[in-house]
Structure 1
Amino acid sequence: MSSVSVSHGVGAQLKHWRSVRRISQLELALLAGTTQRHLSFIESGRSRPGRAIVIRLAESLRLSLRERNDLLATAGYAPVFTESGLDEEAIRPVRTALEQVLHGHMPYPAVVVAPYGRVVAANPAVELFLEDASPELLEPPVNILRVMLHPKGMGARVRNLDEWGRHVIENLRARARRSPDPRLDEFVAELAGYVPEPPVGPDHLGFSVPMRLASADGELRLITTLTSFATATDITLAELHLEAFLPADQETAEALRVRAERNADAPRPVHDDALIMSSTSSVDRTSPKLR
């Protein structure tokens, strides 16, 4: 690849990301510690950027680690961020920490999710979401977002699906705006088809409401927290997030406690691990444990 084609390639990418981020050349130059003239030369292909300035520009544009690697590759440099499997020794401490968080969140549901909703790990309380779910939704790879909104999954039991379901949709749309991705756009369109439009009236609260979930133990009210690895330098970890659910009232807290105690006393198959954790590369094989 010639230096000219490299320069034009990285310049086009920078223009693209500035457009997505709605940031001017001057603003980006100031953030990255360079001059507007230098950035203009890079974008026009008149100057080939050094590795350090590419990294600074990518960071200033708030690109994901995967996108930063892509920009470096376009500029002709080797990637700097690794992509590990969760079963690799290098990130065993993170795996252990995730297992402890999942266990510690009991008796409330918590799930670790990879891109596009793929389940990486979950605690036993997540079985609440799978109550009466259609078997095809539990075929590998299990997608927790699809389970939550599909009419053959949780969607049939979420009594305020029109309002609550929008928080899932809007979070994904916000992610798609930050990092345009045709596959994600297609997935969002699918999920949006499962969620009815909420009526907009004087009592409308948008999606800032607890989920009201019908269950064998009555109606449960749950709120959601999302945790991500904001300072991760490994792509796999950076792309994971932990979605933890908390009771929105005392009745729900008590119902979940009783439910967990009851399930703990029930016989379990030998292969049914208390925690599900797998490499994202092999999640398709282990997902059936999420029954």
Structure 2
Amino acid sequence: MENRPVGVLLREWRERRRLSQLELSIQADISTRHLSFVETGRSRPTSAMILRLTEQLDVPLRERNALLLAGGYAPAYPEGRLDGPQLKEVRASLRQVLAGHEPYPAVVVDRRWDMLDANAPIARLIEGVAAHLLEPPVNVLRLSLHPDGLAPRIVNLAEWRAHLLSRLERQVAATGAADLRELLEELRGYPGGGEAPPKRAQDVVVPFRIRVGNAELRFFSITAVFGSPLDVTVSELAIESFFPADEATSAALRRL
């Protein structure tokens, strides 16, 4: 990205968001003429202008830093290490959420869906998967859909696979990230258990149904992210929490 003009990159983000120059110029409170000059390279945008445009385009913080570098400026957003001292409180809050969610499973992932932390019930769910899928970094999408992973035990594999691929497709469309696009193509190549069943009128969420021992556990999931993050690492964290979809699952998890 850094080898390409910042104006070209901004235009690509505008087109990815399906905005015209007029629409973006109104949102960013600049003239359409000036925006056109920025995109064509006739005008060099200030760092403040780049940040204003990327804010309106909802560009992820990592890519905002890359756009600033492409424009000849220093990054505006720090990128701390989750295991570093600057993110100590963030790490503690994540651990508190994970522990508080037990006996139900929950996992912390980054933008690539790599597992950064998990609570104890996750270990029970992933028992028996191939060792190569548990070598760091553990990608939870690969772990879920790979035939050596959870896939053989997911009762509604076709439905769950379609749900996960749809989420990843939207993420690729929103970010344009090449590594996520590669992951999507990899996952599409896995066997998927046939055609996903049609949605029923009474369905409110896509269930996750998995066999653990002799029991079938049924979950629905909730994804949580940090509000108003100013650090790249924090902005890319998400907690995927699984809740029992019926009393039998709740009772089974309490026993486990």
TM over 0.5: yes
Identify which of 66, 84, 91 aligns with 2:87: 91
Per-residue deviation at 1:91? 1.4
Per-residue deviation at 1:204? 9.2
Larger radius of gyration: 1
For 1:218 and 1:39, the matched residues in 2 are separated by 59
2:210 aligned partner: 213
1:153 aligned partner: 149
Per-residue deviation at 1:236? 0.7
Q: Structure 1: any 5+ residue segments left out of the alignment? A: 1-5, 260-291
Higher relative contact order (CA 8 A, sep 6+): 1
Could you give the per-residue CA deviations for residues 145-174 of structure 1, whole angstroms, max 9, x where no partner exists?
211111211100001000012211111110
- Aligned-residue CA RMSD in angstroms? 2.0
Q: Which 4+ residue blocks in structure 1 deviate beyond 6 angstroms?
A: 204-207
For 2:176 and 2:199, the matched residues in 1 are separated by 34
TM-score, structure 1 normalization: 0.82
1:284 aligned partner: none
Identify which of 5, 12, 19 aligns with 1:9: 5
Contact 2:103–2:254, Cα closer than 8 Å, also in 1: yes
TM-score, structure 2 normalization: 0.93
Establish whether residue 240 from structure 1 lines up as the match of residue 237 from structure 2.
yes
1:162 aligned partner: 158
Report the number of matched residues: 253
Per-residue deviation at 1:207? 10
Could you give the per-residue CA deviations for residues 216-250 of structure 1, whole angstroms, max 9, x where no partner exists?
15000011111112411111111111111000001
Q: After the TM superposition, which residues 124-273 of structure 1 pair with which residues of structure 2 at under 5 Å, given as runs?
A: 124-194=120-190, 195-199=192-196, 208-259=205-256
For 1:28 and 1:187, the matched residues in 2 are separated by 31
Q: Structure 2: any 5+ residue segments left out of the alignment? A: none
Identify which of 90, 93, 112 aligns with 1:116: 112
Worse overlay, 206-215 or 174-183: 206-215
Per-residue deviation at 1:197? 4.3
1:26 aligned partner: 22
Establish whether residue 102 from structure 1 lines up as the match of residue 98 from structure 2.
yes
2:54 aligned partner: 58
1:279 aligned partner: none
Worse overlay, 89-98 or 201-210: 201-210
Per-residue deviation at 1:63? 0.2
Contact 1:217–1:255, Cα closer than 8 Å, also in 2: no
Per-residue deviation at 1:12? 0.8
- Residue type matched to 2:142 in 1? R
Percent identity among equivalent residues? 42
1:38 aligned partner: 34
Contact 2:47–2:68, Cα closer than 8 Å, also in 1: yes
SS state at 1:112 partner: strand
For 2:203 and 2:162, the matched residues in 1 are separated by 8
Contact 2:107–2:118, Cα closer than 8 Å, also in 1: yes
Q: 1:245 to 1:202 in 2, by over 3 A?
A: closer
Q: 1:176 to 1:34 in 2, by over 3 A?
A: same
For 1:201 and 1:250, the matched residues in 2 are separated by 25
Contact 2:114–2:138, Cα closer than 8 Å, also in 1: yes
